[in-house]
């Protein structure tokens, strides 16, 4: 099943319904891919820009770029159109984080995650009654749909990498070169950083080896616009990566997230939101919950020493990161929060060619190397 949040139905005209099932999902992805490819060619200036064609795809998003503007500028509309897609997981040490979160929340739970590879690592490390792939990027969800279709039809018993290599990814995000229209999966490093490839491939192998695959819900939308309340368990766990950074989530949108959680949670229910800092293994787990009387609270379950990567602009390098959640608390309260990774975490400095995701509106020279 594919569900679409209200904001995305306003953004993308080809996406008109709130719910799609079975063959209607294939038809939807075929439709938006055909129209989206035209938008991407216009955005990357390989086709003349036609305002009428753009309006047929979206009446609210501005896809026009100035002739001298780089392809990696104006990233959010480009991502929503499916023209700049972060298929490669640039979160670090995610397998350890998911194992930790499973310890924090051993009860019955609903599990949400952004991105592509993160979903399969979550599936391997966590016991969830419900799995939801959530993303603002419809091409990420299409890749899930296509890959899981290949796994279900795998009568010959092909290995995970062989199935992944049958995917044709569209407009893969690159900062060092203009994204190509189609790009094959060469090996696991197409989808994972070099440091994570062993764990990534293990997660894909684990998924393919299942005798019976779970139902996967696809949710197209922003986290702040989604219904995150648990349906199958007592808690929802949302791995948000850096989706709560200011480039993707404004203060008004964060307030909407809080208010939505306040209104949707039943008594003694919880939503745990996991934030991951760029270019490190550091995470923070924020918990929204109601007690037996229905009183709503927002707390920090654990928090690592979040800092900006050394690959950001000089005025940010090594400086503390404070998320919208952190603005709720006094700084001394944050210092008192227990560390998620008690034994510490690793910081990474790698080659820029690995297509960074964090802080996309900055120039390549100021981006963290992933």
pLDDT in tens, 51-60: 999 999 999 9
CA–CA gap between residue 111 and residue 162 (Å, rounded): 27
Domain limits for position 260: 94-141+194-366
CA–CA gap between residue 288 and residue 219 (Å, rounded): 21
- Phi (first) and psi of residue 20, to 5 degrees: -130, 145
The pLDDT score that the predictor gives to residue 94 is 95
In a domain, 28, yes or no: no
In a domain, 315, yes or no: yes
The pLDDT score that the predictor gives to residue 366 is 30
% of the chain residues with pLDDT over 70: 91
In a domain, 6, yes or no: no
Q: What is the CATH number of the domain that holds 269?
A: 3.40.50
Of 354 and 322, the one with more pLDDT? 322
Chain centroid offset of residue 256 CA: 19
In a domain, 37, yes or no: no
Query: What does the pLDDT look like over 274-321, one tens digit per residue?
Result: 999 877 899 999 999 999 898 999 999 999 999 877 766 677 777 889
Residues 258/260/266/270 CA torsion (nearest 10 deg)? -40
Query: What does the pLDDT look like over 123-151, one tens digit per residue?
Result: 999 999 999 999 999 999 999 999 999 99
Across the range 95-106, mean pLDDT stands at 96
Number of compact structural domains in the chain: 1
- Phi (first) and psi of residue 105, to 5 degrees: -130, 75
CA–CA gap between residue 181 and residue 83 (Å, rounded): 9
CA–CA gap between residue 21 and residue 248 (Å, rounded): 28
pTM equals 0.90
Phi-psi region of 294 (alpha: psi -120 to 50; beta: other; left: phi over 0): left
Looking at the chain, list the stretches that DSSP marks H as alpha helix, in order from N- to C-terminal side.
Answer: 6-11, 23-43, 51-57, 75-80, 94-104, 117-125, 138-152, 160-164, 197-208, 251-264, 331-336
In a domain, 13, yes or no: no
The sheet that has 216-220: what strands, in order across it? Answer: 19-20, 2-4, 216-220, 130-135, 109-113, 235-241, 270-276, 283-290, 296-303
In a domain, 71, yes or no: no
> 47 near 63, Cβ under 8 Å?
no
Q: How many CB atoms lie within 10 A of CB 234?
A: 16
- Which CB contacts under 8 angstroms, 24+ apart, belong to 41-49? 41/181, 43/71, 43/78, 43/81, 43/83, 44/71, 44/83, 44/178, 44/179
Query: What does the pLDDT look like over 150-167, one tens digit per residue?
Result: 999 998 889 999 999 999
Residues 320/325/329/334 CA torsion (nearest 10 deg)? -50
Q: Inter-axis angle of helices 117-125 and 197-208, to 10 degrees?
A: 70
Going by the DSSP 8-state scheme, the letter that residue 156 receives in this structure is T
In a domain, 225, yes or no: yes
CA–CA gap between residue 145 and residue 140 (Å, rounded): 9
The pLDDT score that the predictor gives to residue 90 is 84
In a domain, 276, yes or no: yes
CA–CA gap between residue 355 and residue 364 (Å, rounded): 9
């Amino acid at each position: 099943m594919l569900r679409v949040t209200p904001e995305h139905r306003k953004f993308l005209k080809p996406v008109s319904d709130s719910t799609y099932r079975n063959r209607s999902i294939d038809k939807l992805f075929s439709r938006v891919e055909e129209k989206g490819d035209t938008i991407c060619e216009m955005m990357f200036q390989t086709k003349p820009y036609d305002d009428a064609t753009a309006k047929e795809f979206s009446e609210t998003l501005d896809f026009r770029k100035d002739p001298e503007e780089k392809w990696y500028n104006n990233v959010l509309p480009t991502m929503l159109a499916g023209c700049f897609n972060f298929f490669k997981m640039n979160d670090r040490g995610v397998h350890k984080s998911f194992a930790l979160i499973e310890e924090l929340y051993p009860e019955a739970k609903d599990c949400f995650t952004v991105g592509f590879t993160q979903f399969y690592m979550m599936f391997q490390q966590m016991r969830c009654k419900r799995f939801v792939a959530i993303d603002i990027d419809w091409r990420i969800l299409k890749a899930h749909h296509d890959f899981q279709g290949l796994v279900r039809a795998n009568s010959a018993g092909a290995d995970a990498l062989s199935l992944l290599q049958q995917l044709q990814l569209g407009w893969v995000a690159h900062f060092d070169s203009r994204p190509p229209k189609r790009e094959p999966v060469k090996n696991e490093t197409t989808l994972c950083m070099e440091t994570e490839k062993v764990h990534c491939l293990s997660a894909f192998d684990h998924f393919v080896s299942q005798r019976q695959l779970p139902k996967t819900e696809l949710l197209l939308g922003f986290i702040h616009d989604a219904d995150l309340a648990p349906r199958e368990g007592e808690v929802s766990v949302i791995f948000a990566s850096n989706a709560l950074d200011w480039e993707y989530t404004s203060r008004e949108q964060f307030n909407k997230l809080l208010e939505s959680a306040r209104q949707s949670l039943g008594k003694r229910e919880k939503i745990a939101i996991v934030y991951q800092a760029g270019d490190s293994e550091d995470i923070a787990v924020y918990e929204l919950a109601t007690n037996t009387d229905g009183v709503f609270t927002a707390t920090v379950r654990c928090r690592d020493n979040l800092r900006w990567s050394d690959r950001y602009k000089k005025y940010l390098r090594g400086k503390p990161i404070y998320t919208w959640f952190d603005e709720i608390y006094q700084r001394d309260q944050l210092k008192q929060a227990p560390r998620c990774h008690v034994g510490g975490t690793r910081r990474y400095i790698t080659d820029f060619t690995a297509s960074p995701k964090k802080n996309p509106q900055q120039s390549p020279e100021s981006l963290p190397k992933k």
